[in-house]
Amino acid sequence: MLGAGAIGAYMGAALHRGGAEVTLIARGAHLAAMQANGVTVLSPRGDFHVTVGATDDPAAAGEVDFVVLGLKAQDYAGAGPLLAPLLAPETGIVAAQNGIPWWYFHREGGPFDGRRIEAVDPGGAVSAVLDPRRAIGCVVYSSTELEAPGVVRHIEGTRFSIGEPDGSASARCDEFSAAMVAGGLKCPVEPDIRNDVWIKLLGNVAFNPLSALTRATMAEIATYPPTRAAVTAVMQETVAVAEGLGRRPDVSIERRLAGAERVGAHRTSMLQDLEAGKPLELAPVIEAVIELAGLVEVPVPAMAALHAATALLDRTSRGAGELTPAAC
C-alpha cells in the first residue's frame, strides 16, 4: 500500500486480516503509530485491529504482485523512486483515486483511444512513471478518516470496484478481488470500470470542491436548497460530458444526492486536505472533466465557476502566490 493514509490503511488492514501479505508505506506520526501499535479500524461493521508491516522504505517490501496507490493524483509523477523497488515485470498498479485516471483512454476503444489527458498526465509525466499497461482501474465507494495516527474511522461503504481498462477478464483482477473479499470487503470485477468512474465522479466533481469552499459536510450541502441546486447543475453538466464521450452513468442525480444525505456528517477528502494544509486534488476531480468537456464541445459554466473558486482557494490557503488586486 503506497501512501497508506485513511483509505490505504483501511484496505491494507482488511487485506492483512484476510491472509494477504501486506506492507504499508507511509510517513510521519501515522507511520510511527502503525509501526508501534499496528492499525486500528473503528467501524459500524465492527472494530478490528491488525499488526501489519509498515515502513517508509519501499525497498524493504521488495517486488510485489500489486501496488495499491493511496497517493494523491498530484503526487503520481514524482512517485518513480518509491515505485521502482516494488515493480516486478507483472506487477499490477491499483490506483484507489478519485476522478478521471491517467489511464482513462488507454485501450478505451473509442475515437479518443490512447489520447493523453493533460490535466492528469501533464506532458506524459505520469504515464512515464505509471505505465498504463500495469493499470487496474479501481473506484472506491468507501468513506474513511484518520481519527488519530494509526487509527482509521470507517464511516460507510466497503465496495472497491476494479476492472481492466480494456474490459477484458483477467487472472490478476480475479486474484486481487479474492484477496479483498477474504478481508471482508466487496470487490466486484467490472467489465466496464469507466462506468463506475463516472458514477463516483458524479458526486466528487460537485461535493468535493463545494465542501472545501463551504467547510460543510455532504449532508449539509445536499439538504441546503441553494447548494443542492448548485450540485445538481454541476452533475447535469458532468452527465452531458459523459454522454459526449459515449457513456451514460447508470445512476440518477437524485439517487446520488440521496446517497450524499445518507453519508451524513462526512467531510470529503478535499475538505480534509484543506484543513490539513495540503494541496487540493483538483486535477482528476474537476480539471480533467473540464478538459474532456472541451474535447466533446459541451459547455460547463457551473463547473468552470466552481473550479475557478476552488483553485483560487487552493492557491491562497497554501500561500502559493501573491494575488494582483483588481484595478479600481
DSSP annotation string for 46-72 = --EEE--EEES-GGGT-SEEEEEE-S-
User: Over the stretch 56-107, which tens digit does the pLDDT of each residue have?
Assistant: 999 999 999 999 999 999 999 999 999 999 999 999 999 988 999 999 999 9
Low-confidence ranges of the chain (pLDDT < 70): 320-328
Question: What does pTM read for this prediction?
Answer: 0.92
Instruction: List the domains of the chain with CATH numbers.
Output: 6-191 (3.40.50.720), 195-317 (1.10.1040.10)
Residue pointed to by grid coordinates 460547463:
300
Cα distances (angstroms) measured from residue 270 to each of 5, 68, 276, 293, 309: 14, 20, 10, 22, 14
- Classified as helix, coil or strand, 245 is coil
C-alpha cell at 174: 480475479
* Active site residues per annotation: 200
- The candidate with the shortest Cα–Cα distance to 201, out of 74, 103, 325, 98, is 98
C-alpha cell at 202: 458524479
* Residue 321 pLDDT: 46
* Residue 99 pLDDT: 95
C-alpha cell at 287: 480539471
**Distance, CA of 146 to CA of 35 (rounded, Å):** 16
- The candidate with the shortest Cα–Cα distance to 33, out of 150, 147, 148, is 150
* Residue 323 pLDDT: 40
Beta strand 135-148 pairing with 151-163: antiparallel
* Residue 328 pLDDT: 23
User: Over the stretch 171-198, which tens digit does the pLDDT of each residue have?
Assistant: 999 999 999 999 999 999 999 999 999 9
**Distance, CA of 4 to CA of 303 (rounded, Å):** 31
**Distance, CA of 34 to CA of 24 (rounded, Å):** 9
